[in-house]
Chain A
Amino acid sequence: MDQHPTIDTRQTLETPEGTDLSLYPAGFWIRSLAYTLDWLLRIAVVVVAGIVLGASGMGQGLTLVIYFLMEWFYPVIFEVWRGGQTIGKKSLHIKVINDDGTPVTFAGSLIRNLLRVVDFLPGFYVTGIIASLCNRHFKRLGDLAAGTVVVYANSVAASPVLESVGSRPVPDGFNTDEQRFLLAFAQRSSTMSPARQAELAQVLAPAVAPGDPVLAIKQMANHIVGDRTQSAKGHLL
């Protein structure tokens, strides 16, 4: 039944060391928010410069220079020297990187930002939005030309701590991936109703017998993370 590839945003790269690196490309919704933030910021800087400097001829010239730099080099400077993040991108936890996972280079950043002109056509970045909808990694034309991609910079929120319900060893035959899901069950049980927990644990009941499967899996999770201090209490339960 696996004739279709699974739909996901995750892109997995294999590093030279043989480990997998996961990238999560960001779509146009959050990127347009980040852009709006940056845009407001740039406008504010130019307007303030215009008010303060605008009176004299030299000041007007300077304002134009500031406007030019803001328009063309604000993103480049931030992307190259601030870890791929303009202020807007940083506040929304996204960043620009090369599509091989390395930090974005000056040339790459310059190309992707110069090509904003094209992505803007015929107005309001409509070309960029449509281009980003036409490929899997949500790249606008500038990203395609520069070989860059905008990805999430933060990780999924850390899981809450495990309950102290004692520990018991994991039975034979649970491989690493399977143990990871036993752990995930215990970590996320605080967000699930008791009925749902019982329902899920029931699926594995014969494999984790004896006793209440919910408790058994939680105790195994404690064992997996190395908390064996309460094993005596666990056995009593």
Chain B
Amino acid sequence: MNLEQLRIAIRPRRDWEAVDLGLRMAQQWWWPMLRVWLIITSPWLVAACVMPPEHQWLVSLCLWWCKPLFERPLLMILSQGVFGVELTTREVLRATPRLFLNQVFLSLTWRRFSFTRSMDLPVIQLEGLHGAERRDRLNVLHRIDSGPASWLTIIGVHVESFLMLACVALLGILIPEEVGAELWTWGFWGESRTGGALLILFAYIAMAVVGPLFVACGFSLYLNRRVKLEGWDIEIAFKRMAQKRGLPTVAILAIAALLQLTPPMLPSAQAQSEREAVKEEILAIKKGPDFHRMETQRVIKSTEKKEEEIDFDKGFWRALIEFLTGAGSLAAAVAGIAELLLWALVLLGIVLLILKYGSWLERFPQLLPHRRRREYRPQTLFGMEVTKESLPDDVSSAALALWQKGEQRPALALLYRASLTSLLTVGVALREGSTELECLRLAERLQQELGIPQTSIRYFSDLTRAWRRLAYGHQAPSDAEGTALCRDWAQYWPEVTRG
């Protein structure tokens, strides 16, 4: 056997990754596997079609029950395929009876319900083990990385039913309501011959799709386990190294053993008769319902039953709704508490919002209620403290002293700061973030309302102009002007100094 012919990449894989390799293998050998599966299961389908409707379920059950047998030829295709041997459909069909007979009784009785069927099949079919040997071998194989084997069965069952239901749904989507086929009645699916035949067909399609995937993924799990147990990748690598160095190659190889254990081919003498048999089977399938348009539209109206059903439905849903909406007193109490909690949550949210953004709110006093607007008093404006406590007792003299010392900027700053403090004291709602001109305009606007003397406002206007020139333009007022501003302050803003 030539290792170069291995069709799959051999390396140790994670358990689920091995399952996915199985999907890739199923993609690779999809049509050969599907072809063989359809051919060997066709007798069941034909039987289902010719049976009277009341016995059709027996055929379906039989088809389902015999699934382990139908998986065997698929495994044969795969196990040869991974070593680069592409079997023809005829070769596989010829080997099928022999494959079927291998441990058939056990496989169809209690092993039928084994969850790890897909992973165990290679042990009996490729390794040919039975009895205690088989059990020991399975114990070794199942030790690790075999968890997905059971999941394959569980998910497989679901995917199969989903596929079947999806076929039903697709039919429902595609057939317009106006046709009046009554697709959504029990009468159609459960009692009419068309419905029964369709269900069998859908189940058949679902099995045909899931079967090859199931076999391929189980086989891949088995292979991965052996790759790890026997170091196949190491064997391949070592053999390449030996070839590169011109060493004599050793014949005993586990992988070759796997290939030899697959059933030998029968001679191709019977090819012609086999071809005839296949042809007949194909013709038989073609006679089946799949290849004919079904136009039977049988409408069964059993009005009594319908009403009963509706009643049942209504009763059930009403009970459910009553249960869920809590008509009982306990449920009502729980609901009441829940509603209270809900409102508490909303209130809490609002409080948190205010706590978080409250300080931000203060920058916009016009948003505050009128009373609070009056009370509101910023501590600093333009980065200057505007509290009474921060001012000297006699602002005028303090400023004049600074001015005469030549410290013009601190002098004017003191005057301006003191003026702002006074404005705040009489109730001008200056806010943090206002500009000097905004302060002035606000003072002018509120002059009437708050009874500030006209002269004081004029002084504040002069002071603001002087302060802005000095602060931003670095143009100090003339000595006379500065002195006047300092001296006049007490005259126009008497409130603060008086305390």
Contact = CB atoms under 8 A, between A and B. Distances in A.
Nearest to B228: A191
Contact of A178 (B23, B25, B159, B241): B241
B196 interface: no
Interface string B24-36: 1111100000000
Contacts of B158: 32
A97 interface: no
B9 interface: yes
B249 interface: yes
Contacts of B250: 199, 202-203
Interface in B135-190: 148, 151-152, 155, 158-159, 162-163, 165-166, 169-170, 173
Interface stretch (B10-18, B371-379, B414-422): B10-18
A235 interface: no
Nearest to B27: A133
Contacts of B16: 26-27, 29-30, 92, 152
Given A27-B16, A55-B325, 13 more contacts: A2-B4, A4-B84, A27-B20, A30-B148, A32-B155, A54-B326, A55-B331, A122-B173, A123-B169, A184-B237, A192-B229, A203-B242, A206-B245
A50 B331 CA distance: 13
Contacts of B152: 29
Nearest to A8: B9
A55 B343 CA distance: 13
Contacts of B170: 122
B234 interface: yes
Nearest to A9: B20
**A interface residue count range (under 10 / 10 to 19 / 20 to 34 / 35 or more):** 35 or more
A136 interface: yes
Contacts of A181: 233-234, 237-238, 241
A152 B17 contact: yes
Given A1-B4, A55-B338, A7 B231 contact: no
A126 B338 contact: no
B235 A203 contact: yes
Contacts of B25: 7
A10 B11 CA distance: 11
Give chain B's interface residue range (CB within 8 Å of chain A). 35 or more
Contacts of B239: 203
Contacts of A236: none
A7 B338 contact: no
A124 B20 CA distance: 20
Contacts of A229: none
A233 interface: no
Contacts of A58: 339, 342
B315 interface: no
A26 B342 CA distance: 43
Contacts of A25: 20
B62 to A, nearest CB: 26
A136 B23 CA distance: 9
A156 B16 CA distance: 11
Enumerate the 9 nearest inter-chain pairs by beta-carbon distance, A residue then B residue, closest first: A55-B335, A124-B162, A8-B9, A126-B166, A181-B237, A27-B20, A122-B169, A203-B238, A122-B170
B324 interface: yes
Contacts of B14: 24, 152, 154, 156-157
Interface string A55-76: 1101100100000000000000
Nearest to B8: A7
B19 interface: yes
Contact of A138 (B2, B23, B228, B324): B23
A184 B6 CA distance: 21
Contacts of A207: 241-242, 245, 247
Interface string A71-89: 0000000000000000000
A174 B170 CA distance: 60
Contacts of B338: 52-53, 55-56, 59
Contact of A29 (B151, B165, B237, B249): B151
B32 to A, nearest CB: 14
B217 interface: yes
Contacts of B213: 133
B166 A123 contact: yes
A1 B247 CA distance: 22
B133 interface: no
A19 interface: no
B335 A7 contact: no
29 contacts: A1-B2, A1-B4, A6-B6, A6-B7, A7-B25, A8-B8, A9-B17, A24-B14, A26-B16, A27-B19, A28-B23, A29-B152, A29-B217, A32-B159, A55-B332, A56-B342, A58-B342, A123-B162, A136-B24, A152-B16, A152-B17, A156-B14, A178-B237, A199-B250, A199-B254, A200-B238, A203-B235, A206-B247, A206-B248
A41 interface: no
B252 interface: yes
Given A152-B16, A203-B249, A203-B250, A1 B9 contact: no
A211 interface: no
B339 A124 contact: no
Contacts of A8: 8-9, 21, 24
Contact of A184 (B19, B155, B233): B233
B265 interface: no
B148 A29 contact: yes
Nearest to A192: B231
Contacts of B294: none
